[in-house]
Amino acid sequence: MDNWNGIGSLLIACIEIILLLNLLFFSDRNRINNTANLVIFLLMIYQAFEFLICWAGFASPLMVYLAFVDISFLPALNLILIFRLLDYRNKAWGLIFLPAISFVIYYAFVINQFKVASCAVLYASYYYPLGELYGTFYYLPIVISMILLVRIILKNEEKKKKFIAKVLLTGNVIISIPVITGFILMFTGNYYLVSKMESIMCKFAFFYTLSLGAISLYNSKRNNGRNDTQHIPDN
């Protein structure tokens, strides 16, 4: 086979769907776990899109747009996960999704401006409108999530929540590595990572997927029969 572009995405998608099926079978159905599983599902769908775009040749503007629709909701969902860990209850939660919804609606009118710049085994780069503004709204919930996780670790006395927060914080730090690297390079005049940022982040997010899988299993009553921690109640 001459074309290996996108094969890395297929491999990750296959691992993620196997992990998700195991979580649906072995972990409890509660709001924290359901949110974590939904994040894994969206990450898996994006990897499938990238495989179809880069390997199968379905590189139309519509396919790229649909891939962006999929990942646009990930940061807000991640923030919702942290809120549920903190037992926050607020009817205004829906506003967290407003930036993503706004970009999805706007991009629907300019789909033809989405283009695949290049593909590689593990990532793809894209051209799309309002890239810097999109990036700002995309990374902001991730930063807020990390701040809240640090707060849980430092101030919460419940051991189980602290452990889950540490696992999630580690995953968030890992997915932030390409962002931090990209911004450092950008300030030096090197824009190499900018157009590839979302794709590379989703590859690093594979480690976050493993973190989510770990906390879903850990936050299950059947697991609590094997340890002394208290199950985090559904809310």
Q: Which amino acid is at 139?
A: Y
Among 209, 184, 199, which residue's Cα sits nearest to residue 5? Answer: 199
Average pLDDT over residues 202-223: 85
Query: pLDDT tens digit string along 157-206?
Result: 788 899 999 999 999 998 888 777 777 766 666 665 565 666 677 677 88
Across the strands, what pairs with 125?
A: 118
Give the Cα separation of 25 and 33 in Å (integer).
12
Tokens of 233: 């109640």
In which element (H, E) is residue 234 found?
none
Question: In the chain, count of helices (H) and strands (E)?
Answer: 9, 2
Residue 73 pLDDT grade (very low, low, confident, very high; cuts 50, 70, 90): very high
Q: Is the pLDDT of residue 138 over 90?
A: no
Exposure letters 141-164 (e unless 16+ CB within 10 A, then b): bbeebbebbeebbeeeeeebbbbb
Query: pLDDT tens digit string along 74-117?
Result: 999 999 999 998 888 777 778 899 999 999 999 999 999 999 88
Q: Judge contact between 168 and 215, C-beta under 8 A.
A: yes
Query: pLDDT tens digit string along 139-148?
Result: 899 999 999 9
Q: Which amino acid is at 127?
A: Y
Among 62, 32, 31, 38, which residue's Cα sits nearest to residue 49? Answer: 62
Q: Which amino acid is at 50?
A: E
On the CB side of 98, CA atoms within 13 Å amount to 5
Q: Judge contact between 48 and 20, C-beta under 8 A.
A: no
Among 48, 39, 31, which residue's Cα sits nearest to residue 88? Answer: 31
Residue 222 has a pLDDT of 62
Angle at 146 between CA 199 and CA 169, to 5 degrees: 80
Residue 80 vs residues 16, 90, 109, 211, 218: alpha-carbon distances, Å: 21, 11, 28, 16, 19
Q: Is the pLDDT of residue 217 over 80?
A: yes
Pick the CATH number of 7-224 from 1.10.3210.10, 1.20.1260.10, 1.20.1080.10, 1.20.1070.10: 1.20.1070.10
DSSP structure string for 153-175: HHH---HHHHHHHHHHHHHHHHH
Residue 93 has a pLDDT of 77
